[in-house]
Amino acid sequence: MKLERRLVINTGGMFSGKSTELQRQGERHELRGHSVLYVKPAMDTRYSENELVTHDGQKVKAVSVDTKKPDELLFIIRIMQTEVICIDEIQFFDLHMIEIIDGLLKLGKRIYCSGLDLDFEGKPFEITALLMAKADEVKKLHAVCDNCGNDAWVSPRKTDDKEQVKLGEKESYYPLCRTCFYNEQYNGFWGFDNE
Ligand SMILES: [Zn+2]
């Protein structure tokens, strides 16, 4: 069976299971005998240099690609003849990565990307938003709100840092649903209670 070219985006906040979903998708192709390449941004060294590791500790081998030079990915794929490409933490890559992904789709590849949809202030990551528009399938995943237990929508930062890209884990981000986020950010501002 010929593998159909397709772009799938797994998105959502921190701790929503995006990397786990990416590995599951890759593993299903491996079971079918397809060659799978896992890719992660070179700057993401939170857990491991050569492996893609989820928050719950599952690992697969991954190549690190410089976020400012996504062309490296074309080079690697040409060498490895990969049919399926699973890219994690897509929000960290330069917008040029979109052209690379378009090119890979034209070559007939199957692409899965996982990444944050929104930053800690609830503003979209541009690359994720654009890829969601181009995708064949978008999966929105949800963590559990730290405050009330509903589906989380955003991952605010526990500290006052303002830069959009900042690596962090449980100690620096927490999942919140939309209502709890609005209550925390704007309570009193609009003069009504977000019940
Ligand atoms: Zn909540």
DSSP symbols for 14-81 = TTSSHHHHHHHHHHHHHHTT--EEEEEETT--SS-SSEEE-TT--EEE-EEE-TT-THHHHHHHHHHT
Distance 10 CA to ligand 1 centre (A): 22
Architecture of domain 6-145: 3-Layer(aba) Sandwich (3.40)
- pLDDT band, residue 45 (cuts 50/70/90): low
CA 184 to chain centre: 25
Indicate if 171 belongs to the active site: no
Calculate the average pLDDT of the chain: 86
Q: Is the pLDDT of residue 158 over 60?
A: yes
Q: Are 82 and 35 in contact (CB under 8 A)?
A: yes
Distance 21 CA to ligand 1 centre (A): 23
| C-alpha Rg value of the chain to the nearest Å | 17
Can you read off the two tokens belonging to residue 49? 């240099």
Distance 151 CA to ligand 1 centre (A): 7
Q: How do residues 94-114 score in pLDDT, each as one tens digit?
A: 999 999 999 999 989 999 999
Catalytic residue among 21, 30, 51, 89, which? 89
CB atoms within 10 A of CB 104: 20
Average pLDDT over residues 41-46: 71
Distance 114 CA to ligand 1 centre (A): 24
Can you read off the two tokens belonging to residue 108? 């007939």
Q: What local confidence, expressed as pLDDT, does residue 22 receive? A: 96
Distance 144 CA to ligand 1 centre (A): 8
Q: What local confidence, expressed as pLDDT, does residue 187 receive? A: 64
Can you read off the two tokens belonging to residue 3? 């593998």
Q: Is the pLDDT of residue 186 over 80?
A: no
* Composition of the chain by helix, strand, coil, percent to 5: 30, 25, 50
